[in-house]
Copies of this chain bind each other. A is one copy, B any other.
Amino acid sequence: MMETTGKHLIPSRAAKRAHYDSEALYPILDEALFCTISYAVDGRPFSIPTTFVRYEDKIYIHGSVGSHFIREIEKGIPVCITVLLADALVVAKSAFSHSVNYRSVVIFANAEKITDSETKYLSFKWLTEKVVPGSWDYLRPVTDKEMQKTTSLAFSLTEASAKIRTGMPNDEEEDKMLPIWSGLIPLETKRLPVIADESSVEIALPKHLE
């Protein structure tokens, strides 16, 4: 039941859906705004959703230096990071054959604490530009104090794999002729028009937010 070829350890009934190359991994990591990071303390699992950004062959997250979560994983303990993009509900002729079209990534890694201030600064920029492209130079610049209050952690993608399901339902052979509708319900996540804070109602909306 495990993908045991190579160094990857991916629990999966669908190892045929696994991909390990950057061509599969990067588009998923660059589209998803959130990941879930899990870790274990004394054998007990903890997990937390957070924003992240990929830059080259690592992903980066940020957190308060005082955060319990950050203080645990910055020690370099093993973490498992998952990312999920759900593309469609796959509606089969039987409940059993229902599925989901998705693109997911699983990463096994250990946090690398970013101590180099240039890289740390850039990791803020990369994340901000991912969340709101074109905004970094428009914002009030980051201060040294803010840099000191924030921890930046990097995770290697060496032990990462993507799983992707696309296409129509895989109904059982004997079900295919049944007069029951089957197909896809596509899912879409999108950004709606912005809503100004009361401090900003008289401030022109910058181009990157139009």
Q: State whether B204 touches A181 (Cβ < 8 A).
A: yes
Binary flags per residue of A94-130, CB closer than 8 Å to B gives 1, else 0 = 1110101010101010000000000000001100100
Q: State whether A189 touches B188 (Cβ < 8 A).
A: yes
A residues contacting the other copy or chain, number (CB 8 A): 97
Q: A182: which of B45, B94, B199 is its contact (CB, 8 Å)?
A: B199
A69 within 8 A of B: yes
Stoichiometry, copies per complex: 2
Given A36-B84, A66-B13, A171-B199, A142 contacting B194 (CB threshold 8 A):
no
Q: What residues make up the interface of A, taking CB atoms closer than 8 Å to B?
A: 1-2, 11-13, 33-34, 36, 38-40, 43-49, 51, 64, 66-69, 71-72, 78-82, 84, 86, 88-89, 91-96, 98, 100, 102, 104, 106, 108, 124-125, 128, 131-132, 135-136, 138-143, 146, 149-150, 168-169, 171, 175-200, 203-206, 209
